[in-house]
């Protein structure tokens, strides 16, 4: 018997038409780390909430089957005693702000033990222990809301661990973090598992990083358990996994090509093992890397185009704060496709908010189509520069999809047939025709993001700023959103994407503006940016895994995408002595 035992578990939310989970069976041994992988709506969050009794006792629905954690049958725990499970099970969620509420870091960590009536002297010791565990001792009295995303998530982990649980469940804990924050959190998770012997269940839709940590993986698809077992063994059936919509790491995709070509008998799941395998094939003369013959345009030169936004020696600071932007000068040209990148706190979002006059420069000038934005009304700027926020729920407020999209044009004086045409046009472009009467919050996350884009497009701006377009999205959702943005660029729009996702940047944008410490560290075409390892290291960003693998193989040029890698990797069939080395 494992520390977690699940037998024939099914669950359907109240008023839902189908199960969120159906006939799930697995166990987790004490001290092991299990990764739960799958696309959006696979059932990952429902399973996580079931483990600590929140489902079905605080979120109602119908549960069947058996589920026990640390010997406690969670299906039999009532709502009043769910809190008692926190002695056994800690929980960390996707958005750390949803579980942080103290005025200081130490208050958040102390909250759980205080509710268990732990003596104050002991709580002080617990706080010291947890701060040391997550590497935040110097932030003890800092407001959690002044921390970076990775630091906030570490506080959430410390708060959960303050109860000294035997099991900790993490539901997509790094999906909203930059590369630095992701690495911080996953290192803590790995150390908890290795040193503290804590049993860990971590859910994610991107297996690239979690695969290397897990001793067991569960693959969920539409509420059913598609596969379970050793990560290496499960990923040998890559075609089956791909059909679920699960994102396949570049290491596995590339080594799968080697299997298909008869050069290898197995698929690798880690970057290191993939590099070693491919290097061996190169050394034996079975594989080579050539220059990519056909590459997409990543040219950043203006080529005679006019600047639509001019940033002239701009600095900015919030009241009574230090400078967030420091002496920035920048030109953005008509039909640019820009990736604005940098770790949390680098200043990229603050800079982007100057583009549409949400913020006004403390020093310097911002020109929009040649006109100084000083004193310009935000509504006038919004006609020219649309801004789509990271979380669509931060800008959606109307009762119907139609009213949401119509809000901006109505405020610009449009009505009647002309207003209807504007709304129809915007909804058709984002693929939401027929949803006009639906309440926005009944839409899925991907649809709400497209609705947010439609409400901005209805203002007919020529410049579009999109903040983290793939946040919370699985592979299919992110690709759908990026296809929409690509179409907008092809239609002549100037696009600026703020993103932590280096794969998204490498695959789509033509120019990268990299920020650190409120300054621009690099402004270059995409291929040149990912070729400069020194700058990437300085700003704590990493190239996509496919780029790192091909670089380790001494590719003659910087490879940005899997399609480029496939074009570059050439099988030397004349040197093959056997179908499988």
pLDDT, tens digit only, all 581 positions of the chain: 799 999 999 999 988 889 999 999 999 999 999 999 998 889 999 999 999 888 988 888 999 999 999 888 887 776 556 767 778 899 998 878 888 989 999 999 999 999 888 999 999 999 999 999 888 999 999 999 888 777 888 899 999 999 889 999 999 888 777 777 788 888 888 888 888 789 999 998 889 888 989 999 999 999 999 999 999 999 999 999 999 989 999 999 999 999 999 999 999 999 999 999 999 999 999 999 999 866 666 665 666 778 999 999 999 998 867 789 999 999 999 999 999 999 877 899 899 999 999 999 999 999 999 999 998 988 889 899 999 988 888 889 999 999 999 999 998 889 999 999 999 999 999 989 999 999 998 887 778 888 999 999 999 999 999 998 887 778 888 898 899 999 999 999 999 999 989 999 999 999 999 999 999 999 999 999 999 999 998 888 889 999 999 999 999 999 999 999 999 999 987 776 555 54
Q: Answer whether 141's CB lies under 8 Å from 105's CB.
A: yes
∠ at Cα 142 (136, 143), nearest 5°?
Answer: 120
Alpha-carbon distance values, 265 to 215, 346, 487, 574 (Å)? 22, 45, 40, 19
Question: Who's near 242: CB < 8 A, 6+ residues apart?
Answer: 248
**Closest-CA residue to 350 (of 315, 321, 388, 381):** 315
The pLDDT value given to residue 298: 63
The pLDDT value given to residue 15: 85
Q: Answer whether 570's CB lies under 8 Å from 276's CB.
A: no
The pLDDT value given to residue 301: 62
Question: Who's near 311: CB < 8 A, 6+ residues apart?
Answer: 328, 329, 330, 331, 332, 351, 354, 364, 365, 366
Q: Answer whether 74's CB lies under 8 Å from 53's CB.
A: yes
Question: Would you put residue 364 in left (φ > 0), alpha (ψ -120 to 50) or beta?
Answer: left
The pLDDT value given to residue 478: 86
The pLDDT value given to residue 581: 46
The pLDDT value given to residue 41: 83
pTM of the model as a whole: 0.88
Calculate Rg over the CA atoms of the chain. 25
In angstroms, the CA 369 to CA 478 distance is 31
In angstroms, the CA 340 to CA 412 distance is 30
- Two tokens at 319? 């009241």
Q: Answer whether 431's CB lies under 8 Å from 450's CB.
A: yes
The pLDDT value given to residue 122: 93
User: What's 294's DSSP letter?
Assistant: S
Residue with tokens 């208050």: 107
The pLDDT value given to residue 197: 82
Domains of the chain: 4-237 (3.40.50.300), 251-292+559-575 (no CATH), 336-353+379-544 (3.40.50.300)
Strands 337-341 and 511-516: parallel
């Amino acid at each position: 018997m494992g520390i977690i035992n699940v037998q024939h578990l099914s669950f359907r939310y109240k008023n839902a038409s189908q199960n969120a989970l159906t006939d799930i069976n697995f166990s987790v041994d004490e001290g092991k780390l299990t990764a739960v992988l799958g696309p959006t709506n696979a059932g990952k969050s429902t399973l996580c909430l079931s483990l600590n009794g929140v489902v079905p006792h605080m979120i109602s629905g119908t549960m069947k089957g058996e589920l026990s954690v640390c010997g406690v049958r969670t299906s039999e725990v009532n709502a009043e005693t769910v809190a008692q499970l926190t002695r056994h099970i800690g929980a960390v969620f996707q958005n750390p702000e949803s579980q942080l509420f103290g005025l200081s870091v130490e208050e958040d960590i102390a909250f759980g033990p205080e509710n268990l009536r732990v003596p104050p002297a002991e709580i002080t010791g617990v706080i010291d222990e947890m701060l040391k565990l997550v590497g935040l001792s110097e932030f003890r009295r800092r407001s959690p809301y002044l921390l970076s995303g990775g630091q906030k998530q570490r506080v959430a982990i410390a708060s959960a661990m303050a109860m000294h649980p035997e099991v900790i469940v993490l539901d997509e804990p790094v999906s909203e973090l930059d590369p630095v924050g992701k690495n911080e959190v996953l290192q803590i998770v790995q150390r908890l598992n290795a040193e503290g012997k804590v049993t860990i269940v971590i859910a994610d839709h991107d297996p690239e990083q979690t695969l290397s940590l897990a001793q067991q993986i569960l693959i969920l698809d539409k509420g059913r358990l598609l596969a379970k077992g050793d990560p290496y063994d499960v990923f040998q059936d890559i075609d089956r996994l791909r059909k679920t919509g699960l994102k396949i790491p570049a290491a596995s995709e590339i080594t799968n090509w080697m299997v298909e070509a008869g050069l290898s008998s197995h698929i690798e799941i880690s970057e290191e093992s993939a590099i070693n395998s491919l290097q061996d094939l190169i050394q034996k003369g079975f594989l080579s890397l050539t220059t990519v013959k056909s590459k997409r345009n990543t040219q950043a030169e203006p080529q005679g185009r006019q600047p639509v936004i001019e940033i002239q020696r701009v600095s900015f600071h919030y009241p009574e704060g230090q400078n967030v932007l420091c002496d920035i000068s920048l030109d953005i040209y008509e039909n640019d496709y820009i990736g604005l990148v940098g770790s949390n706190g680098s200043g990229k979002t603050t800079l982007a908010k100057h583009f549409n006059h949400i913020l006004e420069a403390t020093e310097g000038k911002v020109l929009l189509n040649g006109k100084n934005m000083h004193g310009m009304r935000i509504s006038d700027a919004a006609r020219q520069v649309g801004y789509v926020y990271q979380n669509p729920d931060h800008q959606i407020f109307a009762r119907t999809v139609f009213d949401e999209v119509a809000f901006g044009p109505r405020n610009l004086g449009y009505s009647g047939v002309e207003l209807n045409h504007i709304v129809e046009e915007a909804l058709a472009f984002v693929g939401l025709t027929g949803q006009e009467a639906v309440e926005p919050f009944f839409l899925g996350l991907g649809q709400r993001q497209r609705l947010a884009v439609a409400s901005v497009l209805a203002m007919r701006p020529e410049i579009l700023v999109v903040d983290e377009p793939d946040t919370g999205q699985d592979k299919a959702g992110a690709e759908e959103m990026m296809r929409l943005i690509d179409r907008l660029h092809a239609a002549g729009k100037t696009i600026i994407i703020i993103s932590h996702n280096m794969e998204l940047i490498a695959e789509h944008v033509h120019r990268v503006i990299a920020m650190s410490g409120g300054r621009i560290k690099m402004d270059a075409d995409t291929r040149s940016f990912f070729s400069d390892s020194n700058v990437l290291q300085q700003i704590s960003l990493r190239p996509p895994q496919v780029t790192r693998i091909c670089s380790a193989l001494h590719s003659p040029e910087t490879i940005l995408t899997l399609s480029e890698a496939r074009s570059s990797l050439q099988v030397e069939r004349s040197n093959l002595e056997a179908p499988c080395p």
